[in-house]
Structure 1
């Protein structure tokens, strides 16, 4: 792999859907070490654990413990399965990971806005807030996540900007999944904030059988970095996606308080 310690570029390794289980101890350290050797920072796109338990979170942190590059993460739906996503967030935060949920951070002069996102469908197939209260609550959750993303993007003051999600903001990167489940893989409502800000790239996971790359309506690249997809589509390289951006001079106050 090329030398990641470039004076002119910052390199990110991005991956989602790691799905750490209680028997995963010792199975991911080499993988994370490879990512740390190849990149200047690691981006984790949700479903970091399989059931969102304290034990899985502890194992995840131990597996990450051998690397010394910045790590930025969002949670996924699996991290909510046990009803205690805060357990995963607290373990990661205590280990120095930047866990984003409608918030933002700056890594090597690049602004990163993150949110889990939610489902609801794409384009004319989007579910509308009409009918039973349960449907309205479902749609409102998608709207809430989109508003959180908007809030996070508004905090960025950097020239270079990345969005980190779990659910897909466009239909292009879920292509390959059964069309019947498209509405549960993401929402066009997440794309709307991305169109209002100058973005360099968007990363998400969740769609294990989706498509690696597509673009928003205004041409911003969106990468589906679900680990199962990367393993299947690129079997000869480690299953993380490398993305480069030119380094920018870091100016004091470029990122508003989060």
Structure 2
């Protein structure tokens, strides 16, 4: 497809859940994404158990990508208490791993954070009672603050938020209602209201909904690989998102050009 003078293309996917047995299984998809997009966005749960071996397999698979790669980690990447090793391995492979930081690709600012759980709207968990509950809510607030800090750093007219957990209930719909509180948090939506973006990408909800919107109309896309494969089995498992190069976030958020795959 090649680069376009009028749009910037992003290929986004999450929940790769790479294991040691994944070697050789993702290169073709990554290469295809690299051919049609200006950058590849990875929305967490990049590994299955967060081990150094899994991270190295992923880094080797990503060698097929010839465009910038931006990623956030997910809960699975923390399972072995080695998120720093996962991050370092990917960074050595040329991946920009964001955790409350921001970067710029083709004039588009990207703010990235893992996010956390806690529930949505009136069902959000409150900081009251046992210390363990207060610590849980504190973690959710901390991730929201990191997202806000990253968004505040951006000075580009076009902006994307990259998460693992969902900031809204709309894109986790389809999962059992009983586990909604563990799939994301409305606290992540609050920074997106104060600092509007063109689009939000997240994973984590394997049986959620492909897209919805924040209360201020920003499109949110669930790019969990299992969900993409189930929804569009005939297409490669990534979401292709096009942003006009000459439109500010307030305009592009209302009329992005979208497609699920090439």
Same structural fold, with TM-score higher than 0.5 when normalized by the shorter chain: yes
Q: TM-score, normalised by structure 2?
A: 0.93
Pairing 1:74–2:72 present: yes
- 1:208-227 to structure 2, matched below 5 A, reads 208-227=206-225
* Structure 2 match to 1:102: 100
Q: Tell me which of 198, 202, 205 is aligned to 2:200.
A: 202
* Structure 2 match to 1:37: 35
Q: Structure 1 runs of 4+ off > 6 angstroms?
A: none
* Structure 2 match to 1:8: 6
Q: Tell me which of 123, 126, 129 is aligned to 1:128.
A: 126
CA distance in 2, matches of 1:72, 1:172: 24
Pairing 1:53–2:29 present: no
CA distance in 2, matches of 1:65, 1:39: 16
* Structure 1 match to 2:252: none
CA distance in 2, matches of 1:34, 1:22: 22
Q: Tell me which of 177, 182, 185 is aligned to 2:183.
A: 185
CA distance in 2, matches of 1:112, 1:67: 19
Say how many residue pairs are matched: 247
* Structure 2 match to 1:118: 116
Partner SS state of residue 174, structure 1? coil
List alignment gaps of at least 5 residues for structure 1: 250-258
Q: TM-score, normalised by structure 1?
A: 0.95
List alignment gaps of at least 5 residues for structure 2: 248-262
Asked whether the 8 Å contact 1:15–1:227 carries over to 2, the reply is yes
Asked whether the 8 Å contact 1:4–1:10 carries over to 2, the reply is no
Partner SS state of residue 172, structure 1? coil
Partner SS state of residue 60, structure 1? helix
